[in-house]
Amino acid sequence: MRAPLNLRKVLPGLLLLIAITAGCRLDMHLQPYYRPLAKSDFFNDNRSARLPVEGTVARGDLHEDTYFYTGKVGNALGDFMPFPVTPEVLARGRERFNITCATCHGRVGDGNGFIPTRGFRRPPSFHIDRLRKVPIGYFFDVDTNGYGVMPDYAAQVAPRDRWCIAAYIRALQISQNAKSSDLAAGQKMPSPPPQFRDIGTGATLPQEAPPAPAGEGENK
């Protein structure tokens, strides 16, 4: 006669079996796929890797505004901004310029950046006649595609920021070549140089000295 079944001994194993078999569902958890460059018998050319459908554009890569993304009208460089130049645009351009451009071109665009002092070729000043006369699309194009020994910065700087930098370069050119008639009423030319309380160490920024009290330093 068979001994009665001991449920206490069988129950843990039964529960474990139920838990394991409950996970045995294929559905979409396991999908057929081709390994890269594997042969396929489905297509006539036996290639599993297929080109995208003609006309396919990745999300965000449509670039319908050609001028915004190239700085060119046809094959010619444009000489206008694709959006209004505001104080915020110039502030953004100054920030991006000081981060990505000033190391070579210098903070005022004179080519006296830090990198050329270490043996690299000195870039031309933005204030020479040739670069003062180029259309603003030139600066966008160079930032996008590079020029000479300068690499392109398309991957590091977004298109709108490249335009902001171009606008700021133009502002630098105006600031270094302004006439007295271009100044606002009451503004001196040249502007007095800033006075620093601490010139900084390279790891720290310079700190400007507080303004002198009214009348101090004037001839009496």
What six digits make up the tokens of 8? 């206490």
Q: Which residue has the tokens 């309380």?
A: 197
pLDDT of 93 strictly over 90: yes
Express as a percent the part of the chain with pLDDT over 70.
85
Give the residue, 74 or 28, on which the prediction is more confident: 74
The confidence score (pLDDT) of residue 198 equals 80
Which range among 41-45, 143-147, 197-201 has the greatest average pLDDT?
A: 143-147
Mean pLDDT in residue range 141-170: 96
The confidence score (pLDDT) of residue 121 equals 92
The confidence score (pLDDT) of residue 73 equals 96
Residue 175 in contact with residue 107, Cβ under 8 Å? no
Instruction: For the chain, give the mean pLDDT.
Output: 85
pLDDT of 128 strictly over 50: yes
> Residue 207: which pLDDT band, with cuts at 50, 70 and 90?
confident
Contacts of 136 by beta carbon, 8 Å cutoff, 6+ apart: 71, 78, 79, 80, 81, 166, 167, 170
**Domains in the chain, CATH or no CATH each:** 71-177 (1.10.760.10)
Mean pLDDT in residue range 92-101: 96
> Residue 136: which pLDDT band, with cuts at 50, 70 and 90?
very high
Give the residue, 205 or 128, on which the prediction is more confident: 128
Residue 176 in contact with residue 127, Cβ under 8 Å? yes
Q: What is the pLDDT of residues 43-57, one digit of tens each?
A: 899 999 998 899 898
pLDDT of 200 strictly over 80: no
Residue 76 in contact with residue 70, Cβ under 8 Å? no
pTM over 0.85: no
3-class state of residue 79 by DSSP: coil
